[in-house]
Amino acid sequence: MKTITEILQTLIVSQEAKINDWFTRQYKNLQSCFYSSVDIRDSGYKIVPVDTNLFPAGFNNLTSDGLKQAVVNAKSHIQKYYSECKKILIIPENYSRNNFYFANVAALKSILEQAGFVVEIALLRVEHDVLDEIRNNAPNLQISYVRRAGDQLVKDNGFIPDLILLNTDLTSGIPLELQNLLQPIIPDVKHGWHKRTKSVHFITYDQVLDNFCQEFNIDKFLLSTAYHHCAKINFKEQIGIDCVALSVDKIIFHLQKKYAEYGITDEPYVYVKAERGTYGMGIMTATSSDDIYAINKKIRNKMNVIKDGIINSEVIVQEGVKTISKVNGNAAEPLIYLVDGEPVECFFRSNSMKDDLSNLNSKGAEIINDLSLIEGGADRISAYNLVAKLATLAAAREIG
């Protein structure tokens, strides 16, 4: 039996034109995502997306080739959908102490400027004034605040953008300054994590996959994960965890049967993940309901709160997929960055503090863009790119 890697790579080589035509048809009357990043897990027998982020950071990790492709794709996207645009305002997160994050913002600014646009950066006002601290940590970005003037946003220096690019994921909701603006905003504010959910994303991904796998005669199991949604959860008070525990056992039982059918010898496991948000927050692994009932106070507190102090009241229980990639013996996983729905670069997230079953987007994570350091996976990038395109198509359809 061919591996999923062999299946996808053979398909890409033999039917590239047909695949491109399929994507073109899928995007008819649908706007592509300006940017996205997709975390991939490759177990050797499955290649699956496990997270699709519509407000990605990390563009500072792109190599020169990746940056060049990002410039081409960004220009294409904006000319296609916002043909009159000349000036763009980037609104980032208020991460006052994260120098790596603002290196990402600087990279985004450079990409858009090289694409031919005038670009400035401004913050939304928050209760705690972070501007001076951010200016100290990112002195070259010329950041100031933005204010509302009627139905437009205007930077404090008078700069009026034609288009607003959000690089903040709106976990806490839509700020008043961004509501009912005349200027277009990408991604749209309704696509933030205050509204978007992972379970809806994976439902939509399954629908995309049904079409793709039928068209190209591929077994859907090899490109997807089993999952279940649970609501009205309070981990701190241990409310609603029966749903989580039951979902774990149901998925494990399902996977035991599927693994036996496919001759897979790995022991199945699941991730329990916050229904909203990224940054590796609100996530744990489990192999049975016992793991859910036995979680200690530290893990309950970790699972109970996500970004911006938002209480985590919903989770998705999702099939775990191990990773076969390594860097210097440490577990690693592919991470694909896309602009205008097309991949611009694949690099890897490695973590010396985690094993091949764990969530690697946590303390100890390191980005590796030198593919010569990758043990297993560097020769599979065309397959990863295809899966990331499918996940990003699902995101465009999900929010479109």
Distance CA 366, CA 359 (A): 13
Domain coverage including residue 12: 4-51+197-399
Give yes or no: residues 281 and 385 share one domain: yes
- Which regions of the chain are under pLDDT 70? 1, 96, 126-128, 278-281, 305-309, 311, 400
The reply to whether the predicted model has a pTM over 0.75 is yes
Inter-residue contact 112 to 165 (CB < 8 Å): yes
Give yes or no: residues 70 and 202 share one domain: no
Domain finish residue from 191, 217, 247: 191
Query: Which one-letter DSSP state was computed for residue 342?
Result: E
Give yes or no: residues 300 and 216 share one domain: yes
Inter-residue contact 137 to 96 (CB < 8 Å): yes
Distance CA 290, CA 241 (A): 11
Give yes or no: residues 186 and 231 share one domain: no
Distance CA 315, CA 300 (A): 13
Nearest to 339 by CA among 78, 141, 88: 78
Domain finish residue from 168, 191, 214: 191
Tell how strand 118-123 and strand 87-92 pair up: parallel
| Burial of 110 from C-beta contacts in 10 A (0-12 / 13-18 / 19+) | middle
- How many structural domains comprise the chain? 2
CB atoms under 10 Å from CB of 23, counted, come to: 16
Kindly report the CATH number assigned to the domain that includes residue 72.
3.40.50.11280
Give yes or no: residues 382 and 261 share one domain: yes
Give yes or no: residues 121 and 249 share one domain: no
Give yes or no: residues 73 and 120 share one domain: yes
Give yes or no: residues 125 and 238 share one domain: no
Give yes or no: residues 210 and 357 share one domain: yes
Give yes or no: residues 201 and 339 share one domain: yes
Distance CA 47, CA 209 (A): 13
Q: What angle do CA 247, 256, 219 make, to 5 degrees?
A: 100
Domain finish residue from 133, 161, 191: 191
Give yes or no: residues 96 and 125 share one domain: yes
Give yes or no: residues 40 and 24 share one domain: yes
Q: How many Cα atoms occupy the beta-carbon half-sphere of 59 within 13 Å?
A: 28
Q: What angle do CA 139, 140, 145 make, to 5 degrees?
A: 75
